[in-house]
Structure 1
Amino acid sequence: MKLNPLTLTILTFCVAAFSGMKAASATSFSVIADGLYNAGGLSFGPDGNLYVTEAGIGGSGACVPPTSGQGDSLCYGTSGAVTKIENGKTERILTGLPSLALPDGTGATGPRDIQFDATGKPYVLIGYGANPAFRDRNLGYTDLGKIIAPDFNTNSWKPVADLANYELANNPDGGDVDSNPLGFAIDGNKLVAVDAGANDLLSVNTDGSNLQAVTTFPQDVLTNPIFPPSGTPSNEPAQVPSQGEEVGSQFPIQPVPSSVTKGPDGAYYISQFTGFPFPEGGAKIYRIGADGKPTIYADGFTQLTNLKFDAEGNLYALQYANESAWKGNLDGSVIKIAADGTRTTLLSGNGLESPSALAIGSDGAIYVTNRGDRPGEGQVLRIENTKSIPEPDSVFGVLAIGALGVAWLHKKIGLTHG
C-alpha cells in the first residue's frame, strides 16, 4: 500500500485535544468575514487592514493526478484570490490567481499565505499539491507552487521563487517527488517557506536569488497506528488499508510541515500537520536555530496548521481538528504556549472548525481563518478576552530550547511575525 505523503482533501487541514487542558469559557469570538472560498493564510498590512488568501475552487481546465495516483484528479482554474477586510467589509483586491481543486471545489490548493515585508510590500505563496513534473506538462505555464509579488493596484503579479521546481530538481528529503508549499515568513530580505509535500524548509532572497533548502524533517514512526475502518470513504482509497491487509506495528508517516514563524530568539518554529493516518497527539513543533537542524520544541499536538508569537513571547498553535480528521469531527483549537511551557486552550470547538491560520492583532486579539477547507463557507474570526483565561492545572514540558532560547523569550523583545 502506497501512502500519500499529504492528503490534499484533508490538508486544507487537522488537530488534537489535550488531556489536562481546560477550555476557557471567558473566550468569545465574532465573525468579521464570511463566504470565503477555501480560506488560508492571513496577515495585517501596513494600512492596518487584514488580508486573507482564498485558494479558490479550481476550475474546468486541465487536471493533474493526486500524489497517490489514486482518487479524483485536481483540476485547474483561476479562482484564487486575496481579500482585504476593512471596517467589517470584504473586498477581493487580487483575483485570477491559480487554483487546483477536486470537482466539487474541495481539497483546493492555490493562494495559501500572505505576508508583508518591512516596507509594506506584499508577497503571496501559491500552493500546488502534486508531483511538480505534471505542472508544466499538464497545465502549461502557471504560478502554482511559487511565491509571487502582487500589485493590488493593477491586479497583477510577478513570480519571485519557484518552490515546486526546486523540489523537482533537488528533492532534498529523497522521498517521493511532491510539492505543496503551505506557509512562509519574512526574515529581513529572506522569504522562509515550508513545503508540506517536500517535507522541507526553504529560504530565498526577496529578489528571487539563492533559493535553497535549509533543512528537511524526519519521518515519524507510529507504534500500533489507528486506521479508518476498511471501506471508509476517501478521495484517495490507497490510504485506507483493505480488509485483511496487514499493517505492521511500526508504521512510518510523513512529517508534513505546515507553517513557519520566527521566534523572539531568532530561531524558526515550524508546525507539523503529520501524514495519514493523522495520529492524535502525534504532531510536534520544531525549532530550527543557527545550525539549521530541527529539534523538538513541544509535542503532543494533533494536526497543527499554524503558529504565531505575540509581543510577549507566547506562542499560539492552531489545530485543524481535535481528532484525526478521518473521524469526521473537525472541531479545532487555539492553544497558547507560555514561555515557561504552560499550555492553555483558549478556544476549542464551539464554532471553531477546521481552522487554517491565525494572526495576532495590535490590540492583542487573535484572528483565525475558520472552515478553511470549505468553498463558500470560510470565515475570519476575531477571538477576544484572551487575557482573562485561567491557566490549566497541569503544565506540559517544552522540550530542549536551550538556555539562550529561554533567555530571549523572557526578554520579551519584538519579533517578526511569520
Structure 2
Amino acid sequence: MLAGALTATMLAPAVANAAPMRDRAWVTVVARGLDNPRGVTIGYDGAVVLAEAGRGGRSDRCVDSPEGGKVCLGLSGGITAVSVGRRGAWSQRRIVGGLPSLAGRDGASAVGPHDVSPYGDREYVTALGLGGTPQSRFDLGLAGLMLGQTLIVRSDRNGQSTRSFGDPAAFEGRRDPDRQGVDSNPYSILGTRNGAVAVDAGGNTLLTIGQRGAVSTLAVFPNRMVAGPSGGRVSMQAVPTSVVRGPDGAFYVGQLTGFPFPVGGARVYRVVPGQQPTVVARGFTNIVDIAFDRQGRLLVLEIAKNGLASGDQTGALIRVDRRGNHTELVPGRLTAPGGLAVGADGSLFVTNHSTSAGRGELLRIANV
C-alpha cells in the first residue's frame, strides 16, 4: 500500500517552473577547499562524509580525454569527514587519501571517487569513475586499474586501508547490458546488507554487487526520443547518476540525461528487483543526486538547472510534495552542486562547486 501511494503521489502532474522557497531556510558553508566534491552521506559517528574526485596529477600517465585535451592521473582523490565540535565549529579531515584521480591541468571536472556510502563494520564503500572502456585503464598504470571499480575503505586508530570490492567497468566490458557499446562510469553507490547497488552512468545500468564482489544487472534504463538541437528527433541516453532507497524499500534512481540535455527532460525511476523500472517523477533538468527527507518527500539535486548545454552552472535543489508540486529550495545559492544527504536533524548537506579543484564546498541548509 505504501509503495502504491508513494508512486501515485509522485506521478501527479508537477509544476512546470518550480516555485522558489523564500522563507527561513539558511545556508552555511561548513567545509571549503575541496577538490571536485561529489557524493555525500552521513557517517557512523554523525559526521558528514563526502567523496572528493581529486584534481588529477602531473605525472606522465596521461591519456586523451573524450571531451578533448589530455587528462593525467594522480593520487589526489579521497574521502573526507566533516564534523561539528562542542563549541559549534566545523572541522574537516581526510579519512582516506591517495585514491586515483584523472583530470586536466586545471584539475577541473575530475574523474575519481564519485560517491561514498556506509558499509559493513564502520567501513565505507566508494565508487570510482572511469568514463571509458576497461581496456583504457591499462594506459594509466597500476593505479589507473582502480578506476571503474568500487572499493571498501576504512580508517581507524590503526590507520587507513583500501580493498577492492567490485569491478563494474570489467562487467560492462563483458556484458554491455544496454547494447550501446562499452562505456563505464560508476557514479553512485549504496551499501546494503547483502553488498551494494551501484549506478553506472556510462553503461545506463543499476548494478548489484555481492559481498564477494560479483556484479550483476539489476536494471537497464532505456533511451528516449527527444527533440534535437537542429530539429527532428534524436535518441537520448538515460545516464543515471544517483541511487537511494525510498521509504517503501524500493530503489530510486535519478538521471542526468545524455545529449542534447533537454531542460525538463530528466526523470526519477523506481526500481524493484525483478521488475522493469517505472517513472515516478519527471520535469527535472540534469539530476546529479536525489534523497528523501524525514517526511518522505523526494529531494532532487540538479547540477545545471538551465541545462548543461547552456553553459550556465547554476544548480537547483527541488523538493517534491505529495501532490507532485516542485518547490526550489535556496534558489541562486548553488553552483554545479554534486551530492546531497539528509542529516539527523533534518538539515540538508550539499556539495557545491563539484567540478572545481580547490574551490569545492560543503553546504548545510537548515530550516527547510
Q: Same fold (TM over 0.5)?
A: yes
Q: Secondary structure at the match of 1:344?
A: strand
Whole-angstrom distance in 2 between the partners of 1:197 and 1:119: 30
Letter in 2 for 1:217: F
Higher mean displacement: 151-160 or 191-200: 151-160
Unaligned runs of 5+ in 1: 1-16, 227-246, 387-418
**CA distance in structure 2 between the aligned counterparts of 1:128 and 1:342, rounded to whole angstroms:** 36
Alignment deviations for residues 284-320 of structure 1 (CA, whole Å, 9 cap, x no partner): 1111124331111111100000011123211111011
CA distance in 2, matches of 1:311, 1:292: 27
Higher percent of residues as strand: 2
Say which is worse superposed, 116-125 or 37-46, in terms of deviation. Answer: 116-125
In 2, are the aligned partners of 1:64 and 1:135 still within 8 Å (CA)?
Answer: no
Aligned-pair distance for 1:90? 0.9
- Decide which of 122, 125, 129 is 2:124's aligned counterpart: 122
Q: Is contact 2:78-2:97 (8 Å) kept?
A: yes
- List aligned pairs for 1:164-183, cutoff 5 A: 164-183=169-188
What is the TM-score when the length of structure 1 is the normalising length? Answer: 0.79
- Matches of 1:48 and 1:373, distance apart in 2: 26
SS at match of 2:309: helix
Match for residue 33 of structure 2?
35
Note if contact 1:63-1:139 (Cα within 8 Å) is conserved in structure 2.
no
Matched, 1:343 2:326: yes
8 Å CA contact 2:190, 2:243 repeated in 1: yes
**How far off is 1:114 after superposition?**
0.8
For 2:18 and 2:125, how far apart are their aligned partners in 1? 39
Provide the aligned C-alpha RMSD in A: 1.7
Residue pairs, 1:248-287, within 5 angstroms: 249-287=232-270
Q: What is the aligned residue count?
A: 345
For residue 159 of structure 1, what is the amino acid of its counterpart?
S
Give the 3-state SS of the residue equivalent to 1:298 in structure 2: strand
Contact 1:76/1:139 (<8 A) preserved: no
Q: 1:75 aligns with which of 72, 75, 78?
A: 72
What per-residue deviation string (whole Å, max 9, x for no partner) do you get for residues 149-174 of structure 1?
11213232000001111111111111
How far apart, CA to CA, are the structure 1 residues paired with 2:304 and 2:27? 18
Per-residue CA distance 1:120-170 (angstroms, 9 max, x = gap)? 321111111122211124433531111111121323200000111111111
Match of 2:42 in 1: 44
CA contact (8 A) 1:335 1:343 kept: yes
**Structure 1 vs Structure 2: percent identity of aligned residues?**
36
Per the TM alignment, residue 118 of structure 1 is displaced from its structure 2 partner at its CA by 6.0
2:125–2:191 CA contact under 8 A, matched in 1: no
Q: Which moved more, 1:129-138 or 1:316-325?
A: 129-138
In structure 2, stretches of 5+ residues that fail to align are 1-14, 85-89
- Paired residue for 1:144? 147
Match of 1:360 among 334, 338, 342: 342
Q: CA deviation at 1:82?
A: 1.0
CA distance in 1, matches of 2:363, 2:190: 22
After superposition, the Cα gap between the structure-2 partners of 1:136 and 1:20, relative to the gap in structure 1 and judged at 3 Å, is closer
Match runs of 1:204-215 below 5 Å: 204-208=209-213, 210-215=214-219
